């Protein structure tokens, strides 16, 4: 299940890209565990077996394209490429909500909860969101005061 989170300051210490990737919790955990094991000065046999298992799962989840997929979503919601690797703390508040919208959409969940998804969006981004949601085969609950959405 994906949902549009409302706490726009919850990810201040993370990069914009990582914040989006966190929208797919299982993939995010595998990515973090891989990075932890690879950063060890020496890898035990057990860790080697563990990372091999993680690599299989990572590949099956299309993990090797995770950053490009997250980046594409960010561009679609209007976040410039220059901000993708920067910290969330440097993103303006209204734009943080766009990042959180990309996060909610990232895992392509079966169930999607969106509370006021059009807040702080320009008309082109709203049109993109409408098209994206219409193309998905998900159960969606959307709360919006935008009567045209």
**Does some domain include residue 48?**
no
**Does some domain include residue 36?**
no
**Does some domain include residue 32?**
no
Nearest partner of 98 among 3, 8, 2, 1, judged by Cα: 8
**Does some domain include residue 35?**
no
pTM of the complete model: 0.91
How far, in Å, CA of 76 to CA of 21, rounded?
15
Domain that holds residue 135: 2-24+61-143
**Does some domain include residue 56?**
no
Cβ-Cβ contacts under 8 Å for 121 (sequence gap 6 or more): 77, 78, 98, 101, 129
CATH code of the domain in which 89 resides: 3.40.50.300
**Does some domain include residue 133?**
yes
How far, in Å, CA of 70 to CA of 107, rounded?
10
**Does some domain include residue 47?**
no
pLDDT in tens, the chain (149 residues): 999 999 999 999 999 999 999 999 999 999 999 999 999 999 999 999 999 999 999 999 999 999 999 999 999 999 999 999 999 999 998 899 999 999 999 999 999 999 999 998 999 999 999 999 999 999 999 999 888 88
Nearest partner of 91 among 77, 79, 107, judged by Cα: 79
The pLDDT value recorded for residue 147 is 81
Number of domains in the chain: 1
């Amino acid at each position: 299940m994906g949902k549009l989170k409302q706490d726009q300051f919850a990810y201040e210490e993370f990069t914009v890209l990582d914040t989006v990737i966190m929208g797919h919790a299982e993939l995010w955990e595998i990515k973090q565990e891989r990075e932890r094991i690879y950063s060890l000065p020496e890898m035990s046999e057990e860790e080697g077996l563990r990372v091999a298992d993680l690599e299989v799962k990572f590949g099956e989840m299309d993990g090797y394209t995770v950053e490009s997929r997250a980046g594409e979503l960010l561009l679609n919601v209007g976040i410039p490429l220059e901000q993708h690797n920067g910290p969330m703390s440097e993103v303006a508040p209204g734009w943080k909500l766009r990042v959180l919208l990309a996060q909610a959409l990232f895992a392509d969940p079966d169930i999607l909860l969106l509370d006021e998804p059009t807040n702080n969006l320009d008309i082109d981004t709203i049109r993109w969101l409408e098209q994206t949601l219409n193309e998905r085969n998900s159960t969606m609950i959307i709360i919006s005061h935008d009567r045209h959405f």
